[in-house]
Amino acid sequence: LDKLLVVGPCRGRIVEVEAYEPDDPASHAYRGPSRRNRSMFGPPGHLYVYFTYGMHWCANVVCGPVGHGSAVLLRAVSPVAGAQVMAERRGHPARAVDLTNGPAKLCQAFGIDGQLDGVDLAGRGPRAVELRDEGRTPFEPARRSTRIGISAGTEKPWRWYLPGDPYVSPGRPSGER
């Protein structure tokens, strides 16, 4: 959270994330490794990109050691550079926030898809996806809540976000207003 995501010309500050653990019924890792989730069980600091609802890509940062299967879903980003490219890819939405205020939206805006599944976040080159620490201190401390869009593990308060940021996704966890 609050790190800079860099993919080609696109840069954005991560303003909302969710954690997923291997013993967590909401996690893709819950039933062990499979073809789809294999990069979740790979080395930390790499990307786990998955396809869902027949049309959307979502991106995670793998966090645990090899074989562990934990990751952090990137749910929203606040654009810092490359908004023009993002708008192009997103079909020029009426409101600026719709560029990147959701896990599938930010992937589309940043051009993240299955080709980037498993890439090293410390890597360089044309296929590089970078996570940078700007050494920034948030204006307000992060807040947490339950997670969005899941049907199991709904009680776990594993969603973190920067309160007040306009790019935090519109989906609402149960129990929060």
* Binding-site string for DNA from residue 149 to residue 168, where x marks contact by CB under 7 A and - marks none: xxx-----------------
146 binds DNA (CB under 7 A): no
Which of 89, 90, 144, 156 is in the footprint of DNA by CB under 7 A?
Answer: 90
In this structure, the chain runs to a length of 177
Q: Which is nearer to DNA, 40 or 162 (CB)?
A: 40
104 binds DNA (CB under 7 A): yes
CB 25 within 8 A of CB 32: no
Locus of tokens 């069980």: 41
39 binds DNA (CB under 7 A): no
Q: Is 8 left (phi over 0), alpha (psi -120 to 50) or beta?
A: left
131 binds DNA (CB under 7 A): no
89 binds DNA (CB under 7 A): no
Work out the number of other CB atoms within 10 angstroms of the CB of residue 63: 18
Estimate the crossing angle of helix 103-110 against helix 83-90, to 10 degrees.
110
CB of 151 to DNA, least distance (A): 5
SS3 62: strand
* Rounded Cα–Cα distance for residues 67 and 2 (Å): 27
In the complex, the residues that contact DNA under the rule CB under 7 A are 18, 20, 26-29, 31, 34-37, 40, 48, 51-56, 58, 60, 71, 73, 90-91, 93, 98, 102-106, 148-151, 169, 171
